[in-house]
């Protein structure tokens, strides 16, 4: 769903389009194991605060005119709030996820069941490990778009060719090297079809060269803002929803003509996620 919502007044030309998101409330959210450097099981989690922050994010999307559907949370799956990891959707085709860690494996089943129940005609169970939009970022939902595909910590590099075949669009492979940025969506934010924000230090030199060639006007994030998962952002082409502490990134985004929309995700950061991790885009 990409119908135009607003066209900003002025010379920036940034246009928001109506989006369709799938989210899962953190009813069972907890940090019970450590599968990324952000997770510390000994640190207490305030589930009520996590729910409040998640709901504020949901209401932010609704306030921007977007559609939000909900995935039913499953007991025993504390990371299910990070709905972006459960699938990748482009042109109405759903490539399901296959998680690297057993603790999250059942989430993939719940996602596929939701898409089947929602009437999507093609829902593919993958052969290789891919962690959905965590590592597969669709740039331009139109037929000419590409997928930026991360590997290095979670997604199997063989899943990149599988994604290209299933989603029917070129895939650009990128290798991550910093374990803090274990998913591509923690190191790259797709702002619109031609613009990304990114952290070069999170990638191999070869992958840095690929991104610099493809996005010569990319916005380079401040290391401090990336360290609060500032790049784990969601854009509708004009509005960029990002973690509130990423103030320098928000200012830089505004200078490019986008409208930053800060949200507090401090409690959900304890599991290693921000706005994007909690938001799966359903591109029908």
Q: Is the pLDDT of residue 12 over 90?
A: no
Residue 255 confidence class, pLDDT cut points 50, 70, 90: very high
102-114 residues labelled b (16+ CB within 10 A) or e (exposed): ebbeebbebbbeb
Question: Which residues are part of the catalytic machinery?
Answer: 183, 277
Q: What is the pLDDT of residue 8?
A: 37
Q: What is the Cα–Cα distance from 220 to 197, expressed in whole angstroms?
A: 6
Residue linked to tokens 């599991």: 271
Q: Which of the four pLDDT bands, split at 50, 70 and 90, describes residue 267?
A: very high
pLDDT surpassing 70 at residue 58: yes
User: Mean pLDDT across the stretch 185-203?
Assistant: 97
pTM score, two decimals? 0.94
Mean pLDDT of 108-124: 98
For the chain, what percent of residues have pLDDT higher than 70? 95
The token pair that represents 5 in the structure block: 């919502």
Characterize the bridge pairing of strands 20-23 and 67-70. Answer: parallel
Q: In sequence order, what DSSP letters do the residues of 147-187 get, joined into one string?
A: EEEEESSSS-THHHHHHHHHHTS-EEEEEB--GGG-SGGGT
Any idea of the CA torsion for 12, 142, 230, 247, to the nearest 10 degrees?
A: 10
Predicted confidence at residue 11, as pLDDT, reads 36
Interatomic CA distance for residues 215 and 167, integer angstroms: 22
Check pLDDT > 60 for residue 207: yes
């Amino acid at each position: 769903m990409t119908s135009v919502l607003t066209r900003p007044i002025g010379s920036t030309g940034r246009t928001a389009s109506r989006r369709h998101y799938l989210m899962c409330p953190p009813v069972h959210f907890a940090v019970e194991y450590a599968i990324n450097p952000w997770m510390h099981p000994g640190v207490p989690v305030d589930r009520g605060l996590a729910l409040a922050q998640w709901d504020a994010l949901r209401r932010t999307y609704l306030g921007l005119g977007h559609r939000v559907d909900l995935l039913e949370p499953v007991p025993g799956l504390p990371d299910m709030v990070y709905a972006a990891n459960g699938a990748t959707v482009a042109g109405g085709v759903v490539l399901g996820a296959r998680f690297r860690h057993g603790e999250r494996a059942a989430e993939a089943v719940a996602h596929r069941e939701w898409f089947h129940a929602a009437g999507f005609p093609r829902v593919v169970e993958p052969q290789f490990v891919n962690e959905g939009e965590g590592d597969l970022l669709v740039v331009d939902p139109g037929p000419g778009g590409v997928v930026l595909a991360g590997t290095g910590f979670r997604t199997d590099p063989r899943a990149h060719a599988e994604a290209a075949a299933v989603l029917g669009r070129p895939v650009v492979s990128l290798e991550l090297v910093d374990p803090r940025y274990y998913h591509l969506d923690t190191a790259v934010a797709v702002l619109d079809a031609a613009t990304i924000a990114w952290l070069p230090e999170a990638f191999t030199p070869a992958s840095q060269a690929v991104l610099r060639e493809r996005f010569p006007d990319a916005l380079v994030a401040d290391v401090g803002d990336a360290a609060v998962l500032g790049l784990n952002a969601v854009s509708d082409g004009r509005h960029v929803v990002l973690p509130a502490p990423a103030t320098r990134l928000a200012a830089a985004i505004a200078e490019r003509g986008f409208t930053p929309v800060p949200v507090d995700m401090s409690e959900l950061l304890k599991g290693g996620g921000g706005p994007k991790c909690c938001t799966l885009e359903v591109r029908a």
